[in-house]
Structure 1
Amino acid sequence: MTGFTFDTPGSIRVEWGGAARLGALMADWFAARSVLIVTDAHLHRSGVLDPAKASLAAHGFAVAVFDAVVADPPEALIGACVAQGRAAGADVVLGLGGGSSMDVAKLVAVMLAGEQPLSELYGIGRVTGPRLPLVQVPTTAGTGSEVTNITILTTGGTTKMGIVSDRLYADRVLLDAALTVGLPPQQTAATGIDAMVHAIEAYTGRHRKNPLSDIFAREALRLLARHLPTACRDGTDRAAREGMLLGAAMAGQAFSNSPVAAVHALAYPLGGHFHLPHGLTNALMLGPVLRHNMAAAAPLYAELADVVGAPGSGPVDQRAQAFVAAMEDLMDRSGAPRRLRDVGVPEDSLPRLARDAMLQTRLLQNNPVPVDEAAALALYRAAF
């Protein structure tokens, strides 16, 4: 066996309704008593945070809320959040929301505790300073950001860059699927497919794939494939919501150790240029990239066919095709858009998207089959 490392957050707690007693949990976890909640305005206005805020206050926490997080968070947002955290004297950071809120919370916890400027953090393993205690509570079942050591920011106008460091792993993660009950069907579909892409790319990556990441990826994909149609059809189904949230977290643990690849590399420019939700952009590119990778990944796709319950039997190539067909059927049943033209992406933008995708070298080098600019353009055209 080739040696490998598998990293993960300090602790994960699964508890339906756990956010309503977050104060008791955090009082037991930390001596710190001044918490900065990082979230978005919609969640704050909707009242989703109210039980957690009340519980924190009841257990002696001073609570400040930064609610200006937006999708594809820009660099300036980090500075604003750090400034509010410093003004509040925050000594613990709580990311409560979707992937963007949790990504911001990771960096803010680092920057509140240390002196490194943001510009020095981009890349792999470049965070050297300390960070404040960090708790992550997701409200969507998709990004897996609660359990990963990765933050993605929008730099400049449209380009996305990543910060990867083990210091970004949370101390504590709370998976409370009750927080996901209000998620609309289309968002449930997009975030769920995002999580499935994480599992698939972790399972088929060229670098750092290992026996533990494989276990997490397979079980994540099994849970997500089983529960996504129900969660989209009936968002109040507790078993479906719990299965989706656990599956998304397990997929996050898989890809945090065995990184994602070309689906994400091609999805990022779509989000950067057209401000489409990350889960949706992954869903749009999944089918074309699966077919592109077939030459190298067919044996692994054949194994995943059994995981998602694809019908039929036969040789490896046949089972691999059955897996791709099963994934496309699952996306169709979830109601997620399937074509770039359906979400307002113009055909004349495809060459620019292909050029921008080439900047995602960290991801492209992990793809089972090489993707150059010509191949990227062909994949965007296949998705169009």
Structure 2
Amino acid sequence: MKNFIFQTVPVLHFGEGCLAQLPGQIAALRASRPMIVTDRGIVDAGLIAPVEQTLSEAGLEVVIFDSVVADPPESIVRQAIAAALAADIDIVIGLGGGSSLDTAKVVAALAVDGAQPLAEIYGVGALERKGLPTILIPTTSGTGSEVTAISILTTGETTKAGIVSPYLFADVALLDPALTLGLPADVTAATGIDAMVHAIESFTGRNAKNPVSDMLAIEALKLLTANIETACFDGRNMQAREAMLRGSMLAGQAFANSPVGAIHALAYPLGGIYHVPHGLSNALVMPYVMQFNLEAAAPLYAQLADALNIPRGNENSSEARAQQFIDYLESLAVKVKAPRRLREIGIKQDATTELAEAAMLQTRLLVNNPKELTLADAQRIYDAAW
């Protein structure tokens, strides 16, 4: 077995009611002036209220930055950094979905004296030092951002870029499934499939696949596939919500160490150009990229089919078993009513050329794919997804 490195957050609290641990964790980090980084949807949904109350009862005054938007642009991140510096905060609390958590990680990294310019920290390992302490609290079960060392920002009109550094790991991840109970069915479906993609691409990664990530990916897939329907259509079911949040977190730990590949590479242009939510972008291209990867990844897909106890057909080859896995995932996406075609969300057929060209810029992700992908391949995948 080849050598590998596995990294994750140092402290993780999980379970219903664990939000109560927040003041103690702030104190343990020797901080007293928190800023919550979130979005207006979280505020309007009332999800920030229990966090504010928990902090207020502990005698902590909190600054709130609630201007995060989906696919956060650099301008929003800079506003948040300026707000943190102006308020002299000493700890960042990210609350929300992946966009809020990703923004919080970058704010914590750069809201310190002598920080690098934002433009200099894109890529792998460019961030030079740890910033402010960070506590991340997810309200969706999809991105796993609370346990990853990755932030994705929108860098231009249509482009996204990643910041990857161990200095982005949160000091504490606090996962309370009660905060996910009000998630709408369509968001539950899209974010749940996003988490499944994290697990699948981690398990099939070309460069950093390792036994710890593999173990986490398999357990994540078991939890996610077994509970996504209930979570979508019985959204107050705490057992299902807890399982989805745990699955998302495990998948996040997996892909934080064995990175994702072409599904994400082809999903990013959908978000960057057409502002399709990230989870839905992954859901739309997932089966077509997996079909493309079948030649190279069949044995691994077959292992995942076995792990999920997907019923066997008459043929026992790894290719047949892998196809059963792809078909099973597609049937699950249909059951939870996730859109299955690009045309269903208003994307024109002639847009596939622009999408393919944009996807090929995601070299950080494409190198992890189990099969090399060309521009012509990307075009064919988008055409199939249309």
Query: Which amino acid is the alignment partner of residue 355 of structure 2?
Result: L
Contact persistence 2:105–2:151 (CA under 8 A): yes
Q: 2:336 aligned to 334, 337, 358, which one?
A: 334
Deviations 1:86-118, CA, capped at 9 Å, x for gaps: 111110000000000000000000101242000
Structure 1 residue aligned with 2:166: 166
Query: Which amino acid is the alignment partner of residue 299 of structure 1?
Result: P
**In structure 1, distance between residues paired with 2:166 and 2:94:** 17
Deviations 1:117-145, CA, capped at 9 Å, x for gaps: 00110010011133111000000000010
Structure 1 residue aligned with 2:216: 216
Structure 2 residue aligned with 1:247: 247
**In structure 1, distance between residues paired with 2:136 and 2:22:** 14
Structure 2 residue aligned with 1:324: 326
Structure 2 residue aligned with 1:259: 259
Contact persistence 1:23–1:58 (CA under 8 A): no
Identity of counterpart residues, as a percentage? 51
Contact persistence 2:36–2:63 (CA under 8 A): yes
**In structure 2, distance between residues paired with 1:327 and 1:129:** 40
Structure 2 residue aligned with 1:52: 51
TM-superposed CA distance for 1:28, in Å, is: 4.3
TM-superposed CA distance for 1:54, in Å, is: 1.2
Give the secondary-structure state (helix, strand or coil) at the position aligned to 1:273: helix
Structure 1 residue aligned with 2:278: 278
Contact persistence 1:149–1:164 (CA under 8 A): yes
Query: Which amino acid is the alignment partner of residue 86 of structure 2?
Result: A
Structure 1 residue aligned with 2:84: 85
Query: Which amino acid is the alignment partner of residue 135 of structure 2?
Result: V
Structure 2 residue aligned with 1:39: 38
**In structure 2, distance between residues paired with 1:339 and 1:27:** 45
Contact persistence 1:18–1:174 (CA under 8 A): yes
Contact persistence 2:96–2:140 (CA under 8 A): yes
TM-superposed CA distance for 1:345, in Å, is: 0.7
Contact persistence 1:229–1:334 (CA under 8 A): yes
Contact persistence 1:134–1:170 (CA under 8 A): yes
Give the secondary-structure state (helix, strand or coil) at the position aligned to 1:57: helix
TM-superposed CA distance for 1:310, in Å, is: 1.4
**In structure 1, distance between residues paired with 2:347 and 2:17:** 39
Query: Which amino acid is the alignment partner of residue 203 of structure 1?
Result: F
TM-superposed CA distance for 1:22, in Å, is: 4.4
Q: 2:351 aligned to 349, 352, 359, which one?
A: 349
Structure 2 residue aligned with 1:104: 103
Query: Which amino acid is the alignment partner of residue 11 of structure 1?
Result: V
Give the secondary-structure state (helix, strand or coil) at the position aligned to 1:293: helix
**In structure 2, distance between residues paired with 1:352 and 1:308:** 37
Query: Which amino acid is the alignment partner of residue 179 of structure 2?
Result: L
**In structure 1, distance between residues paired with 2:107 and 2:93:** 10
TM-superposed CA distance for 1:307, in Å, is: 2.4
Contact persistence 2:39–2:69 (CA under 8 A): yes
Deviations 1:8-33, CA, capped at 9 Å, x for gaps: 011111120222x2443334422210
Structure 1 residue aligned with 2:135: 135
Query: Is residue 315 of structure 1 aligned with residue 317 of structure 2?
Result: yes
Query: Is residue 195 of structure 1 aligned with residue 195 of structure 2?
Result: yes
Give the secondary-structure state (helix, strand or coil) at the position aligned to 2:111: helix
Greater CA drift, 92-101 or 315-324: 315-324
Q: How does 1:225-244 map to 2 (within 5 A)?
A: 225-244=225-244
Q: Give the TM-score taking structure 2 as reference length.
A: 0.98
Query: Which amino acid is the alignment partner of residue 218 of structure 1?
Result: I
Q: Give the TM-score taking structure 1 as reference length.
A: 0.98
Moved over 6 A (4+): none
**In structure 1, distance between residues paired with 2:351 and 2:18:** 45
Query: Which amino acid is the alignment partner of residue 33 of structure 1?
Result: S
Query: Which amino acid is the alignment partner of residue 191 of structure 2?
Result: T
Residues 1:25 and 1:335: Cα distance change in structure 2 (over 3 Å): farther
Query: Which amino acid is the alignment partner of residue 169 of structure 2?
Result: Y
Query: Is residue 370 of structure 1 aligned with residue 372 of structure 2?
Result: yes
**In structure 2, distance between residues paired with 1:112 and 1:95:** 14
Structure 2 residue aligned with 1:293: 293
**In structure 1, distance between residues paired with 2:302 and 2:351:** 34
Contact persistence 2:130–2:168 (CA under 8 A): no
Give the secondary-structure state (helix, strand or coil) at the position aligned to 1:62: coil
Deviations 1:212-271, CA, capped at 9 Å, x for gaps: 010011111111011101101100111100000000000000001000000000000011
Name stretches of at least 5 consecutive residues in structure 1 with no aligned partner. none
Contact persistence 1:39–1:96 (CA under 8 A): yes
Structure 2 residue aligned with 1:30: 29
